[in-house]
Structure 1
Amino acid sequence: MRKLTIMTLLTSAVLLSGCWGQKENDEAQKENGETLPANKGNYISPLTGEKTQEKPNQRATAVVINNHPKSRPQTGLAQADVVYEVMVEGNMTRFLAIYQSQQPEKIGPVRSARDYFIDLANGYDSLFIAHGYSPVAKEVLQNGEIDQINGIQYDGTIFQRDPSRVAPHNSYMMFDEMNEVATEKGYDLQTPPDSLNFMKQAEAKELAGQKAETVHIRYSNQAAFQVEYKYDKKQQSYERWTSGEKELDRETQEAVLADNILVIEAGHRVVDSEGRLDIDLSSGGSAYLIQRGVVHQVEWSNVNGRIIPFKKGSMLEFIPGNTWIQVIPASKGLNQIVEFAK
């Protein structure tokens, strides 16, 4: 799973050449005897491509979030810059939500780590947050392959239990408390990740292709794990629905939206008696890229730990905004699991 593919090696050259994303100019100007940023108010958030008043100086934080029906509605998903939905044992899915441009007060319910979540978090140089771990994930975490904080060690402090829900669906991470402990551990919290590639808004307006105003993804025959995205032309974003219900943040009632949806197929293999999975997130394969009400058949590649869309060998750009990446089993096939409607 951690092997670099040929495509990864080739595209790494793209990253090193500066095409991966915007690198901020650190030149400063003197004004009234003070040193001020030359381009204050004209910065770009690295994982959303959206303008921001201040130079990004926050490390990404990746949090494993529960998606069991008893965990819904979740808290904090609407504020994530990038979200992966990936299968775990029992034909269920779980989220890895990556935060950089926003840090909600609390996030959850938080669930246990799998090794592939750690791999994905490393792609953004993230601080990794989970509550519990599989045997393989525990070994990876104990080997120090990523800066991490886990609810096993901090239950009742950074991680607070919600008495209205039943364990293990009731652990919530408090962001401020987590940052305090991370600082005490000596973790770097001020280095943002390299930027993703984003198109200009004028280019986004010119997108054309097969209409995909509704996207239906069947992770399971269970209705609880059937996902829909419905395009809202006014917002120019997709609203996310699960089990026929619109997803809303538990605390704020904010709708969970997606500006970019990347659906990829990857090899899934059961590796133990508990049904835990090994997921091949390094070999690349077929994918759908869905933006602004249209879909394109593309390929995906793992570029330094990130799942990135390509077309005929060229790296594609995201629309400014957030991104949801749906990982489905290759054995079932994109055409069997994903449906589109105008």
Structure 2
Amino acid sequence: MKKYALIGCSLCFLLGSACSPEENTEAPAEEDSADHEPVQAEPEEPEEKTVENSSADREEPEEKEYDETEPLTGEGTDEVSLYRPVAVMINNHPKARPQTGINKADIVYEVLTEGDMTRFLAVYQSEQPEELGPVRSARDYFIDLAAGYDSLFVAHGWSPEAKQMLQSGAAPYLNGLFHDGTLFQRSSERQAPHNSYITFEDALQGLSSKGYEMEQDVSPNHFKEEGYSDSTASEAEDVSIWYRDKYVVQFSYDEEEEQYERSSDNTAAIDTATDEQTAVKNIFIVEAPHRVIDDKGRREIDLSSGGEGLLLQNGKALTVQWKNEEGRILPVKDGQDIPFAPGKTWINVIPSSSGIEGSVQGVE
């Protein structure tokens, strides 16, 4: 695990030295400018069981106390990073799996792009991986979501709408279109456009070289140690989220670890860098209106009006609503903010045309 402070030191050294209903079901082959691109002996009986060996006298290890709290995970830490969040567009095409570095993100938004495939916006602040990818192209609504955390934004390519937004100053950004083969590297093990990778160090270097402000305070989300407490919550240990009946995301609750493990299309989401399955504490499923707006199948998604939601924590699901608060998608119920449990959060945005009732299975 690398903290931002370590990258900060490395960076300083480097710089010092140097629009129709949901009817489209097929994604286009080329969607934007980024596409050009053993037996044991029985133990001897003890002679005498002494009081000292009694389990009643064993002391439980003390839980470590921390001085600070991570703003985007609510977890304890000795020192909060001074750096602002970094939001990275991560490819989720089958040819882009498994991904690298996504399990280190504090928050991941999973949202449809063209056809029936989703893409990820991974927001990093408390942790950072050594490498990220495959990096993919931007859409306008991902830029809005990144702006909710005042994030630095990293992508490889853009749609026309995203291009206009970024060039107009909607977010400080780094685009692989202009740094392909330098800051961004192509993997020989995959084919373009599913093979663009960048190290976190290079991302920070590239962003800093453009003169962007790299340090700032981060406003925290709302957390509670045990998450929400509500008698109306339902059992939710193995939950599936379907996107237009074509692609499915699964979350299975690990009671011992008290977290949900993620799979895509019935295959465990294993991070290539750590060989670990992606796991999170919170899953927030939200309905939003989707509308196809061009012949490429690009979408307009309403992420500002709020709507119905489902919040999964600790093997249970709570029916809630969602709101957009200064760009952040957050849970509310009866007008009251609902806390996240300390840990990482995965937010799945689904079309309201099918909604939670038609898209989510496994909630009893």
TM-score, length-scaled by structure 1: 0.85
Alignment pair present for 1:314 and 2:339: no
4+ residue runs over 4 A deviation: 203-208
Q: Aligned partners of 1:333, 1:183: CA distance in 2, in Å?
A: 41
1:278–1:308 Cα change, 3 Å: same
* Matching residue of 1:32: none
Matched, 1:216 2:240: yes
Quote the residue 1:13 is aligned against: none
More strand by percentage = 1
| Residue 118 in structure 1 maps to residue 143 in structure 2 | yes
1:49 to 52, 67, 74: 74
Q: Structure 1: how far apart are the matches of 2:222 and 2:301? A: 25
SS for the counterpart of 2:165 is: helix
Matching residue of 1:337: 359
Task: Please give the alpha-carbon distance, in whole angstroms, between the structure 2 residues aligned to 1:61 and 1:250.
Answer: 20
Tell me, yes or no, if the aligned pair for 1:46 and 1:192 is still in contact at 8 Å.
no
Residues 127-185 of structure 1 show CA distances to partners (whole Å, capped at 9, x for unaligned) of 00100000010011111111000000111122111000000000012111121122222
SS at structure 2 position matched to 1:308: strand
In 2, Cα distance between equivalents of 1:293 and 1:320? 15
Larger radius of gyration: 2
Structure 1 residue 78 displacement after superposition: 0.6
Given the superposition, is the C-alpha separation of residues 149 and 171 from structure 1 closer, same or farther in structure 2, using an over 3 Å criterion? Answer: same
CA RMSD of aligned residues (A): 1.5
Give the corresponding residue for 2:259.
237
Query: Alignment partner for residue 306 of structure 2, among 265, 278, 284?
Result: 284
Unmatched tracts of structure 2, length 5 or more: 1-64
Partner Cα separation in structure 1 for residue 355 and residue 225 of structure 2: 32
Q: CA deviation at 1:264?
A: 0.3
One-letter amino acid of the structure 2 residue matched with residue 98 of structure 1: V
Q: Which moved more, 1:51-60 or 1:309-318?
A: 51-60
Q: Deviations over 1:30-59 (max 9, x none)?
A: xxxxxxxxxx94111110000111133121
Shift of 1:206: 8.3
Residues 191-202 of structure 1: matches in 2 within 5 Å?
Answer: 191-201=216-226
Paired amino acid for 2:286:
I
Q: CA deviation at 1:290?
A: 0.6
Residue 164 (structure 2) aligns with: 139
- Amino acid in the other structure paired with 1:147: P
Q: Which residue in the other structure is 1:178 paired with?
A: 203
AA aligned to 1:60 is P
The TM-score normalised by the length of structure 2 is: 0.80
Aligned to 2:194: 169
Q: Which amino acid aligns with 2:180?
A: D
Residue type at the aligned position of 1:215: V
1:287: how far off?
0.5
| Equivalent pairs, count | 300
Distance in 1, Cα, partners of 2:231 & 2:277: 24
* Structure 1, unpaired ranges of 5+: 1-39
Given that residues 207 and 292 in structure 1 are in contact (C-alpha distance below 8 angstroms), is that contact kept between their aligned partners in structure 2?
no
Distance 2:335 2:229 in 1: 24
Contact (CA 8 Å) 1:44, 1:56: kept in 2 or not?
Answer: no
2: distance between equivalents of 1:58 and 1:185?
16
Query: 1:227: which partner in 2?
Result: 249
- 1:256-302: CA deviation from partner (whole Å, max 9, x where unpaired): 01100000000000111101000000000000011000001100010
Instruction: Give yes or no for contact 1:43–1:56 (8 Å, CA) kept in 2.
Output: no
Change (3 A) 1:182 1:118: same
Comparing 331-340 with 67-76, greater Cα deviation is found at 331-340
Judge which range, 118-127 or 211-220, deviates more. 211-220
Percent of matched pairs sharing the same residue? 49
| 2:280 match | 258
Show the counterpart of 1:31.
none
Alpha-carbon separation, structure 2, partners of 1:305 and 1:105 = 28
Determine the structure 2 residue equivalent to 1:26. none
